[in-house]
């Protein structure tokens, strides 16, 4: 299949597919006599896997590790370990975001929303 069809079926845009090829996440497809890349079901399955992993927040390097683990079974415990590390990072980000939310809510509540040049939000950012 052509790259446009691959993009449509996988839900990955064409430029992203090209990027994934360059980074090695997707294997280079064979080329036709006219030089066009010819993708197949293997490329489609890999792209769907990569897209889902990226949607779950795995980095490019983590996706490469997942692919390598997938290709060299048995790897479930290693995939679990990688997933647990990723989950710990997500939980930390959530804690950080909640702290930012509390801080910004507190600052916004101090704001009188008037035309005065004295703004508690700006003052807090300058500290």
Q: Which residues contact 42 (CB under 8 A, 6 or more apart)?
A: 27
Q: What is the structure's pLDDT at 79?
A: 92
Question: Tens digit of pLDDT per residue, the chain (127 long)?
Answer: 999 999 999 999 999 999 999 999 999 999 999 989 999 999 999 999 999 999 999 999 999 999 999 888 767 899 999 999 999 999 999 999 999 999 999 989 988 887 777 888 888 888 8
Q: What is the structure's pLDDT at 73?
A: 73
Q: What is the structure's pLDDT at 63?
A: 96
């Amino acid at each position: 299949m052509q790259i446009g069809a691959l993009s449509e079926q996988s839900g990955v845009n064409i430029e992203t597919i090209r990027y994934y090829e360059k980074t090695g996440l997707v294997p280079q497809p064979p080329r036709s006599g006219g030089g066009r890349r010819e993708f197949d079901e293997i490329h489609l399955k890999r792209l769907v896997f990569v897209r889902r992993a990226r949607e779950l927040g795995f980095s490019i390097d983590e996706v490469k590790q997942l692919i390598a683990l997938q290709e060299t079974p048995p790897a479930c415990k290693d995939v679990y370990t990688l997933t647990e590390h990723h989950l710990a990072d997500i939980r930390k980000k959530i804690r950080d975001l909640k702290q930012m939310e509390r801080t910004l809510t507190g600052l916004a509540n101090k704001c009188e929303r008037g035309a005065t040049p004295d703004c508690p939000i700006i003052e807090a950012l300058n500290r």
